[in-house]
Chain A
Amino acid sequence: MRNRLRSLSGKDSLMLWLIALPGVLYFLVFKYVPLLGNVIAFQDYSIFIGIWDSPWAGWKHFVFMFEYEEFMNILRNTLVLSFYTLFFGFPAPLLLALLLNELRQMLFKRTVQTLLYLPHFLSWIIVGGIFINLLAVDGLANRAVEALGGQPVEFVSDSRFFRSVVVLTSMWKEVGWGMIIYLAAIAGINPNLYEAAVMDGAGRWRQMVSITIPSIAPAIVTLLLLRIGNMLDTNVEQILVFLNPLVRDIGEVIDTYVYRVGLLNAQYSFTTAIGLFKSVIGLVLIVGLNHLSKRTTGQGLY
């Protein structure tokens, strides 16, 4: 029997390749060809001449990038916004999961979970529409401000509030969903640990600090590494909703700039250079952090 199975394996392999073919083609066309397409960062690419005949430009676009004041401003905007999103957005789901874990009434807990997950399923257009309405000069938020004796604030058209609006709305939308991974990790902790801790007289707080948090630490480290590795990535769909000419000085980030200048104004080579710069930074961050994490905490992404 074994021999017969083996003699068929050449045919099996061919069959499996045929089954895999559409998926393999997909990865080649939509993931690998664009990676090779990064060469236009070193060209003066013109869509009419094509990638084969466009003239080479060397490092011109990269040099220009760093001499260009606007780009430096955009890079700073991206880093600051990412930092705030990480600083406020990263611990929030973790804290919430720890607190939710302390709720004792199951029905209440389930209802809370259902409502907290809901915004994740709404599009950024809907979430943007809701918050632009609430934060408008004559919106509900400003009526609360007035009721407290303040002056109405232009939350959506004053660039000073742009980052707060982006961080708060992304927390509103994703904080509940972000909780799930931690809740699952908490659910996987061996209950005997808690029983032993109770026997030793440990209270709630002690249990959380000595059992829950150390048990889910690997998940926390992994998620944190991934987040920092993607520091320069922003959520284009979110930013585009809140971006308007009045807040552009603070609100423009790398991804929206590449979209606006690269695709709308057809500066393909220059913005591909920016994109390439971004991926290289991302790669360096991931590899570096992984190395650091492995040396200090003994665990990494790969």
Chain B
Amino acid sequence: MVTNKSERTFQWINSLFFALLSLSMIAPLIHLLAVSLSAPKYANAKLVVLWPKGFNLDVYETIFGLGALWRAMGVSIWITVIGTLLTLALCSSLSYAVSRRQMRGRIAVLQGILITFIFSAPLVPTYLVIRGLGMENTLWALIVPSALNAFYVLIMKTFFAGISGELFDSGKIDGCSEPRIYASIVMPLSKPVLATIALFHAVTQWNSYFQALLFIRSRELYPLQIILRNMVIEDEASAVVGNMETVQAATPEMMKAGVILFATVPILIVYPFLQRFFVKGAMLGSLKE
């Protein structure tokens, strides 16, 4: 009886703990939403916590009117879509080849790939190589150098190696060439692993900004994270918004809150669809961290 009671107390405390922890994950976003939707006088007086006071949409009217933000979002979508396609193409072809015993010297290729796990490419020489290739100030600098890594290849190669050998043999007997087996037999069977890699890579590509910081000089090529950084972290909102007098209806804090949410919403929209790949993906991904 006693254990039963202490068990129930533990359940209560544990549930309460997780409820509060979960709340701490979402509360900051709700706070920003409330600030961005409030009237400037309340936001200025710091009276807004989790519910807007003096509801108004001026912040979003201004944000939706900012050409620079929309263009940056277009750039981010472009690098995410093209970058992910490039990763899938490069990764699946290389992984397919090294998973096939018919490839001579595949062990050496595999070892060469695994070595890059331990000897990761150094920052400064990598920067010089990318510059030397003439990728500076092009969007290629954001997608090509980060397109592949040993970890992606390892995941895909392991998956391909698990496909039944009989399928390959029957393909061979039907006269399929290696490229044909790759395209018509292996790819259709590999949707789970392709989706996992695509999820990993798309999230990284959408969120990262360091490469853009290094290589992008022209404003019209800025991805969303760089514009966001300039506005929110470097406090150069006026440089992006233009004449601040036109946005008197909002305080800088409200603008920042609104812009942060503007950049978060695309993630929140796709988040539920990504969830089904989580556990499998993270299992495979545990090595990367």
Chain A residues proximal to chain B, CB less than 8 Å: 1, 5, 8-9, 12-13, 15-20, 22-24, 26-27, 29-38, 40, 47, 96, 99-100, 102-105, 108, 111-112, 114-119, 121-126, 128-134, 138, 140, 143, 172, 176-178, 180-181, 183-184, 203-204, 219, 223, 226-227, 236-237, 240-241, 255, 258-259, 262-263, 268, 271-272, 275-276, 279, 283, 286
Question: Which chain A positions have C-beta within 8 A of B283?
Answer: 180-181, 184
CB distance from A212 to the nearest CB of B (A): 15
Question: Which chain B positions have C-beta within 8 A of A181?
Answer: 282-283, 286
A134 near B31 with CB under 8 A, answer: yes
- A138 to B267 CA separation, bound complex (whole angstroms): 28
Question: Which chain B positions have C-beta within 8 A of A122?
Answer: 207, 264, 267
Question: Which chain A positions have C-beta within 8 A of B173?
Answer: 1
A35 near B122 with CB under 8 A, answer: yes
Within 8 Å by CB of A38, from B125, B144, B179, lies B125
B125 near A34 with CB under 8 A, answer: yes
CB distance from A177 to the nearest CB of B (A): 7
Within 8 Å by CB of B93, from A19, A33, A203, lies A19
Q: Which residue of A lies closest to B131 (CB)?
A: A47
Known A35-B122, A236-B210; contact A241-B129, beta-carbon cutoff 8 A: no
What 1/0 flags go to B32-66 for Cβ under 8 Å of A? 10000000000000100100000000000000000
Q: Which residue of A lies closest to B261 (CB)?
A: A126
Q: Which residue of A lies closest to B128 (CB)?
A: A37
B264 near A126 with CB under 8 A, answer: yes
Chain B interface residue count, CB cutoff 8 Å, equals 93
B124 near A237 with CB under 8 A, answer: no
Known A16-B97, A20-B103, A121-B271; contact A5-B286, beta-carbon cutoff 8 A: no
B233 near A128 with CB under 8 A, answer: yes
- Give the A-B contact count at a CB cut-off of 8 A: 247
- A271 to B126 CA separation, bound complex (whole angstroms): 12
The majority secondary structure among interface residues of chain B is helix
The majority secondary structure among interface residues of chain A is helix
Within 8 Å by CB of A100, from B18, B153, B214, lies B18
Known A119-B25, A125-B209; contact A275-B124, beta-carbon cutoff 8 A: yes
Question: Which chain A positions have C-beta within 8 A of B22?
Answer: 111-112, 115-116
Question: Which chain A positions have C-beta within 8 A of B122?
Answer: 34-35, 37-38, 272, 275-276, 279
Q: Give the contacts of B123-170 with A (CB-CB under 8 A).
A: 123-129, 133, 144-145, 147-148, 153, 169
B232 near A115 with CB under 8 A, answer: no
B260 near A114 with CB under 8 A, answer: no
- A272 to B95 CA separation, bound complex (whole angstroms): 31
CB distance from B153 to the nearest CB of A (A): 7
Which of A15, A16, A134, A227 has most B Cβ within 10 Å? A16
